[in-house]
Homo-oligomer: A and B are copies of this chain.
Amino acid sequence: MSLTNRQILLASRPVGKATVDNFRLVETLVPAPADLAPGQVLVRHHYLSLDPYMRMRMNDARSYAPPQALGAVMVGGTAGEVVASRHPNHAVGDRVVGGGGWQEYAVVDGPALAMLRKVDTSKVPLSAYLGAVGMPGVTAWVGLSMIVAPKAGETVVVSAASGAVGSAVGQLAKARGCRVVGIAGGPDKCAYVVDRLGFDACIDHRQHRDAASLSAALKQVAPGGVDGNFENVGGLVLDAVMANMNDFGRIALCGMISGYNDEPIPLAQPRLILTARLKLQGFIVSEHMNLWPQALQELAQRVASGQLQYRETIAQGLQAAPAAFLGMLEGRNFGKQLVKLV
């Protein structure tokens, strides 16, 4: 008996804003366990991770990764269980995370096996390995440690503060003795960031139409200026933060979700980089694999002990993935956006 595998393909590249018509749901067959080739592993996905970087990969533009191929399964992180294995390192029943893409099952072999990692779900829930103890958490850890490198007592600003990356950045910065200001969209997210995550302050960017207004609000909650910025949004948010940066400030550029629809988003005052001797650096977490073990160890320990809080928005069923993804790009999620498949 063969199982059906539902998959979501990239059907067309967005022109401006992405829509559900850019995706197509198809059905294929999953190979029977007896039909696996030696070295192959069959994984059933429990959770699919939806992340902002995917929007950039839908464009046919230069970026750090080649564009997502048209007609191919959308790429993405997944968490699930091994349901059949012809590989000595993977046993049926193992809980695993990997890059299985937007589908219910994946046959993993070749180089992709290197990304398939067995995880311990006794103290950390499986889904957290796609969030706080996965790529988003490590992204937070790497950008904060490597670029922002804050000292105790410094002020760090994080945009998209209630998101999977931003919430980890802020809590890690607090653990390092910093004053932390979040920027998030809406009063509920701001309340969560302060009351639950323990940030010192949070600004609702929806209350501000331009960078000058947001900058003035930031000055009120960070009167001593900003020493470090972990930037996930770009555009007017980055402009406002830059206007408040102290001399020798560091900006880790992790994402520019404000510009993922390909509209131009200039930086208003690059002269500040000169006059305040700022460092502005882009990074991609997958290029710093040497830091992952140390990062994952701290993140897992903090999640297990309850010191690192996170929140998830979970869509049900593969067919819900496109709408959930588009909603996330507009900030309708709250915390880590997942799709539950099982």
| Residues of chain A whose beta carbon lies under 8 Å from any beta carbon of chain B | 56, 62-64, 234, 238, 247, 253-256, 259, 264-271, 273-284, 287
- A266: nearest residue on chain B (CB-CB)? B266
A234 vs B276: C-alpha distance when bound (angstroms)? 16
A-B contact pairs, 19 of them (CB 8 A): A63-B275, A234-B270, A234-B271, A238-B270, A254-B274, A256-B270, A256-B271, A259-B271, A265-B271, A266-B268, A266-B270, A267-B267, A273-B282, A277-B282, A277-B283, A277-B287, A278-B282, A279-B282, A280-B281
Residues of chain B contacted by A259 (CB below 8 angstroms): 271
- A65: nearest residue on chain B (CB-CB)? B275
Residues of chain B contacted by A266 (CB below 8 angstroms): 266-270
A255 vs B279: C-alpha distance when bound (angstroms)? 15
Residues of chain B contacted by A275 (CB below 8 angstroms): 56, 62-64, 282
Residues of chain B contacted by A277 (CB below 8 angstroms): 64, 281-284, 287
Nearest 9 pairs of A and B residues by beta carbon = A266-B266, A267-B267, A274-B282, A267-B270, A63-B275, A273-B282, A279-B281, A280-B280, A277-B282
Chain A contact surface mostly: loop
Does B264 lie within 8 Å of A268, measured CB to CB? yes
A6 vs B280: C-alpha distance when bound (angstroms)? 44
Does B281 lie within 8 Å of A273, measured CB to CB? yes
Residues of chain B contacted by A282 (CB below 8 angstroms): 273-279
Name the one of B255, B274, B276, B287 contacting A274, with C-beta atoms under 8 angstroms.
Answer: B255
- A280: nearest residue on chain B (CB-CB)? B280
Residues of chain B contacted by A56 (CB below 8 angstroms): 275
Does B278 lie within 8 Å of A269, measured CB to CB? no
Determine how close the nearest CB of chain B comes to the CB of A239; give it in whole angstroms.
9
Determine how close the nearest CB of chain B comes to the CB of A106; give it in whole angstroms.
27
A107 vs B271: C-alpha distance when bound (angstroms)? 35
- A277: nearest residue on chain B (CB-CB)? B282
Determine how close the nearest CB of chain B comes to the CB of A240; give it in whole angstroms.
14
Does B279 lie within 8 Å of A247, measured CB to CB? no
